[in-house]
Structure 1
């Protein structure tokens, strides 16, 4: 999307003013409406489907395998497929790498442990659909997709169910692979409700002057001076915390106070977002549609 000079000036001044005025009337810390569903892919251990107001749609599937290693770099595999992009395109590869690293940096390996020697290996497949033509041609598509795919991955992992282990967990001197129950009713969640572990969520924050805004729209991204990608986990800011170039214009330097302001905003909204996602993940299998 290319804005005229007058449009750019108006949007920039509106976002930079003390009373932030956004193009779609949202508050500075307000997401665009999202709608999500879970449990709809019968051949996956976990799945989610999340929709954004600008028609973006993200489908995430989690499948589990058994492997004899505890190396997290081998236990978590993320692949992203984007409509209109080749599988080996830089956009798909960069997004896959970004999400994989954020999960590996925060994942509790004990969650994946089956026995003394065997672990679950997760294959997380993400498909992004309904991308507007202007969006595909933009230079900031990668960062615009991060929050959406992060939330979709969170929901898919939270709803991942695994068969009940029937063999012994003590297999230090046994060579046979683990065995599982055929009864799916006895399956358990990868992340139990009692667990303190939660997957990391990634938030994109835009910067204009001394103001910060969450989930910038395409029009807003055209006038942003800078941006941050900030991780949130268990009510804390976690890696990655890095600057990102969201705008098509030259970025400007940001102050330390602006970074702290962005981190404080993520702390403020992170908990309500996690609560909303958990509420969706906790619904019964037949309660598909939810919005937050």
Structure 2
């Protein structure tokens, strides 16, 4: 955590509480740090991405897959390593579990995109390495990189039968990578696993309706947004200094135009900001901050504002990331896969 003097804390805090907030790097409340990205540059992976942010953050994600029995396999496996952090750090394990649950809870991915036959499915292995991160919470950087890696992922095309319920048959794939199938695209010729418990628009649907739903519904990875809550201000993708003066951080998931779980608020009083608040802020403001700290929650108006900001920012961020994918595919078609930069 960055340490601020009382004067620095007061100036930064008051600047971020103005309407509109004045951020140190002149970003708007819904603007991410500038980034540089490349996809599909690791030839040994089914999908890959690398993201660098303007302040020195850097993350690499590779996606691999293997065939496993559906009943005994965990279809989504996420592993996260971070430079300067122990491999057994509980925080990294918690972040990995968050992404695993976020993806595992998507029936379109697990029951359609990864399903091969009635007995076998693809199991995804998503390996992320955070080489550098200028901040306390790496979720934003990880989420953007995982999104790009999954969007660039292609899986071998199944050419054997999808029905092995009568006699077990090992899946056979087309060995021509030109015929591989995008993970986010519709997979032709595969039988989705009907879910009898699926509710669509509040009504019970039949297995046939579920199969049609999975087949005709496009899928894109979810994105996790981290907001800094500073008084009545909400800031997306907070910097290290902004987190140092924040009352807390709010994590919100977004997927295909909707806000999804998780929705989590975490108070982030640093020792420096607490000391600064105690020694420098006026008594009325200090009383307000203490009430927030003891409440164990977040103001509903702030939550509503963050919800609306996530809806607006999600579409813009996804559109920008999709454009990166499109440009990389066009460049790859002309000159081959990009090299690591």
2:119 corresponds in structure 1 to 117
Tell me, in whole angstroms, the C-alpha distance in 2 between the residues paired with 1:170 and 1:42.
32
| Structure 1 unaligned regions, length at least 5 | 136-140
Q: C-alpha displacement at 1:247, in angstroms?
A: 4.0
Q: C-alpha displacement at 1:190, in angstroms?
A: 1.3
Distance of aligned partners of 1:231 and 1:217 in 2 relative to their CA distance in 1, 3 Å threshold: same
2:20 corresponds in structure 1 to 19
What's the secondary structure of 2:138's corresponding residue? Answer: helix
1:167 corresponds in structure 2 to 160
Q: C-alpha displacement at 1:79, in angstroms?
A: 0.3
2:252 corresponds in structure 1 to 230
Tell me, in whole angstroms, the C-alpha distance in 2 between the residues paired with 1:234 and 1:183.
31
| 1:182 is aligned to 2:175 | yes
2:94 corresponds in structure 1 to 94
TM-score, L = length of structure 1: 0.90
The match for 2:305 among 261, 284, 290 is: 261
The match for 2:129 among 119, 127, 130 is: 127
Tell me, in whole angstroms, the C-alpha distance in 2 between the residues paired with 1:53 and 1:101.
30
1:138 corresponds in structure 2 to none
What's the secondary structure of 1:230's corresponding residue? Answer: strand
Tell me, in whole angstroms, the C-alpha distance in 2 between the residues paired with 1:281 and 1:107.
24
Tell me, in whole angstroms, the C-alpha distance in 2 between the residues paired with 1:201 and 1:59.
16
Tell me, in whole angstroms, the C-alpha distance in 1 between the residues paired with 2:37 and 2:269.
28
TM-score, L = length of structure 2: 0.77
Tell me, in whole angstroms, the C-alpha distance in 2 between the residues paired with 1:24 and 1:279.
25
What's the secondary structure of 2:74's corresponding residue? Answer: helix
Tell me, in whole angstroms, the C-alpha distance in 1 between the residues paired with 2:338 and 2:267.
36
In terms of fraction of residues, the more helix-rich structure is 2
RMSD: 1.9
| Structure 2 unaligned regions, length at least 5 | 187-215, 275-288
Tell me, in whole angstroms, the C-alpha distance in 2 between the residues paired with 1:35 and 1:187.
27
Give the stretch that moved more between structures: 280-289 or 9-18. 280-289
**Structure 1 residues 221-274: Cα deviation after superposition (integer angstroms, max 9, x where no partner):** 111112210000110111011112344156725310110000100111110101
Tell me, in whole angstroms, the C-alpha distance in 2 between the residues paired with 1:207 and 1:221.
9
2:233 corresponds in structure 1 to 211
Tell me, in whole angstroms, the C-alpha distance in 2 between the residues paired with 1:107 and 1:9.
47
Tell me, in whole angstroms, the C-alpha distance in 2 between the residues paired with 1:287 and 1:259.
42
Tell me, in whole angstroms, the C-alpha distance in 2 between the residues paired with 1:115 and 1:153.
26
| 1:41 is aligned to 2:42 | yes
Distance of aligned partners of 1:287 and 1:276 in 2 relative to their CA distance in 1, 3 Å threshold: farther
